[in-house]
Amino acid sequence: MPDAEDVRRIALSLPDTTEKIAWSMPTFRVAGKMFATLPEDETSIAVRCPKEERDELVMAEPGKFWIADHEAQFAWVRARLAALEDEGELRDILADSWRQAAPSRLLEAYPELGLPAGG
């Protein structure tokens, strides 16, 4: 089961990522733009997710994903770390969120980042 240290290690391994405390919790940013946070006493992550995909995720796996009330109008979703299958799933989620926040210069420099395994 991935934990907060796995989140920190994987997030900080992504290009141009920094960690900053905001709202009394760790947040991770690419080129200054936030793509992940560690809320709920670091037992979950909040990541960027297009609203259409987010709603499908929550309906498909409500034990794993949910939408925080104060984030409902934004394209963010929460994931329970204890419900994630493994570190690979955590890496995929973080890389996908990173891609949504990263500037085009980084996306062009790291085209392989976040692509599903084997593809």
The DSSP secondary structure of 28-87, one letter per residue, reads EEETTEEEEE--GGGTEEEEE--HHHHHHHHHH-TTTEE--GGGTTTTEEEEEGGG---H
Domain residue spans of the chain = 4-104
Q: What is the pLDDT of residues 24-80, one digit of tens each?
A: 999 999 999 999 999 989 999 999 999 989 999 999 999 999 999 999 999 999 999
Domain 4-104, what fold?
A: Aspartate Aminotransferase, domain 1 (3.90.1150)
Mean pLDDT of 11-31: 97
